[in-house]
C-alpha cells in the first residue's frame, strides 16, 4: 500500500476530493486486514505514518474560522476522520483488533492469537507488551499526536477520545512521563504567549 498525505487544501478544495477518497479507501482496506497483516503495515509502511501525521497536523480544527464550503467533501472528510480515529484506536487496543472494522459485513471472526499460533495456521499479532514498545520506540504515537487527537476528536466525541488516550497511557506508561516532562515548558510558553511575549 502507498498512503497519500493529507494536505491543508484537502479541507476545502474540490480537487482534493480524489485524494480524500483515495486515503479513505486505503484506510478502509487497512482496517479490514487481519491483526498480523494490520501490524505488518503499521510497523513497516512509512507512508501510513506520513498520512496519519499529515491528517492530524492539517485537518481543520473546530475553532478554525473557515468552514467546509465544498458540497459533498464534508461527508468524505467525516468518513476519513472516522477512519483515522479507528486506525489509532486499533493500534492502542491490540486485543480488540476488529472492534473498529470499517466494513459493514458484521464483526470479523478471528481465532484468538494464541490458538492460531499454536495451530501453526497464522503468525500471532504482537502482544500488548510488544505493541506498547512498538508505539513508543518507533514513535508511532507521541505527545504531540496525542494532543492533536484530543483537539480534533475531543469536542465531538470526548468519551471515545478519553477512552483512546486512557488506553494508550495504560498500555504504555512512558507517555505519562513524557507528558509530565513537557508540561512545565508548555505552560511557560503559553504564559509567555498570553502575556504578549514581554
Task: Give 24-48 pLDDT, tens digit per residue.
Answer: 999 999 999 999 999 999 999 999 9
For the chain, give every domain's residue range.
8-101+123-194
| H or E element, residue 77 | helix 73-92
C-beta of residue 148 within 8 angstroms of C-beta of residue 84: no
* pLDDT digit string, tens, across residues 105-130: 333 333 344 444 444 556 788 999 99
Q: What is the pTM of this model?
A: 0.78
More confident residue, 44 or 70: 44
179-188 CB contacts, 8 Å cutoff, 24+ apart: 179/143, 179/146, 182/143
- Percent share of the chain, pLDDT over 90: 53
> Could you tell me the CA-to-CA distances from 178 to 136, 181, 186 in Å, in that order?
11, 5, 12
Residue position matching grid coordinates 467525516? 78
Amino acid at each position: 500500500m502507498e498512503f497519500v498525505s493529507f494536505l491543508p487544501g484537502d479541507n476545502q478544495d474540490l480537487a482534493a476530493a480524489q485524494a480524500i477518497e483515495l486515503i479513505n479507501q486505503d484506510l478502509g482496506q487497512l482496517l479490514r486486514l487481519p491483526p498480523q497483516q494490520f501490524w505488518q503495515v503499521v510497523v513497516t509502511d512509512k507512508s501510513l505514518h506520513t498520512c496519519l501525521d499529515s491528517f492530524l497536523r492539517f485537518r481543520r480544527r473546530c475553532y478554525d474560522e473557515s468552514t467546509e464550503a465544498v458540497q459533498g467533501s464534508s461527508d468524505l472528510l467525516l468518513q476519513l476522520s472516522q477512519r483515522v480515529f479507528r486506525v489509532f484506536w486499533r493500534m492502542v487496543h491490540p486485543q480488540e483488533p476488529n472492534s473498529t472494522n470499517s466494513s459493514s459485513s458484521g464483526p470479523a471472526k478471528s481465532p484468538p492469537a494464541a490458538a492460531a499460533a499454536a495451530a501453526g495456521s497464522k503468525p500471532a499479532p504482537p502482544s500488548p507488551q510488544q505493541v506498547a514498545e512498538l508505539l513508543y520506540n518507533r514513535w508511532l504515537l507521541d505527545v504531540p499526536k496525542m494532543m492533536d487527537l484530543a483537539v480534533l476528536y475531543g469536542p465531538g466525541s470526548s468519551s471515545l477520545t478519553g477512552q483512546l488516550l486512557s488506553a494508550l497511557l495504560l498500555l504504555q506508561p512512558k507517555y505519562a512521563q513524557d507528558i509530565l516532562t513537557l508540561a512545565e515548558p508548555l505552560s511557560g510558553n503559553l504564559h509567555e504567549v498570553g502575556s504578549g511575549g514581554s
